[in-house]
Chains A and B, each alone.
Chain A
Amino acid sequence: AQKITQTQPGMFVQEKEAVTLDCTYDTSDQSYGLFWYKQPSSGEMIFLIYQGSYDEQNATEGRYSLNFQKARKSANLVISASQLGDSAMYFCAMRDNFGNEKLTFGTGTRLTIIP
């Protein structure tokens, strides 16, 4: 069974600072995918970034990067130069890449950017 753990229920960060959102996972699968989603107060789920377990480089998408440490089973999201619009819930999720396609989500971290 897969499990995602997000230990930070809430974070407050000053605008323009970088922020790291923690995510650890547990799985017995050899090939898996890790995802981050953003959920603003309006409620929609917005896909941010994906990392495959066999990808040698950390994924990056604009201001988002994923700090993937396979041996430690962690997949932290780094947001550079935070903006007020980054205030939202952030969810880490994982999927088995060769079996069940379901995404298993963590409990989320509520990020608040302070002006």
Chain B
Amino acid sequence: DAGVIQSPRHEVTEMGQEVTLRCKPISGHNSLFWYRQTMMRGLELLIYFNNNVPIDDSGMPEDRFSAKMPNASFSTLKIQPSEPRDSAVYFCASTRGQGSNYGYTFGSGTRLTVV
């Protein structure tokens, strides 16, 4: 089991550029989550998918953020245009689904810096 795989690990971009973060969940997990971690706001959910369908996107900050899950093994989080306040660590996590007492498995995160 390779765990949840995120890429890139680090991303430095200029304000106004498009940023795409990628995530491969654990095979067999049917729920996928995107979290953002900052010192000011802590860990906050951006969006989550169940069986590739977005279920809760209430945490997506604004129209600059979009997320897709075209199949069970891949998801993207896109920021366009990026702003310095988007600088954070973005985590992807997956789990087997509702009622499971297994922990949510997190990826290593993508540290995004927008300058």
Contact = CB atoms under 8 A, between A and B. Distances in A.
B55 A101 contact: yes
B99 A43 contact: no
Interface residues of B, number: 26
A103 B104 contact: yes
Interface string A74-107: 0000000000000000010000011011111111
B42 interface: yes
Given A35-B103, A91-B43, A102 B48 contact: yes
Contact of B42 (A35, A37, A97, A108): A108
Interface stretch (B20-28, B62-70, B71-79, B90-98): B90-98
Interface in B44-66: 44-45, 48, 50, 55-56
A44 B93 CA distance: 11
A102 B43 contact: no
B105 interface: yes
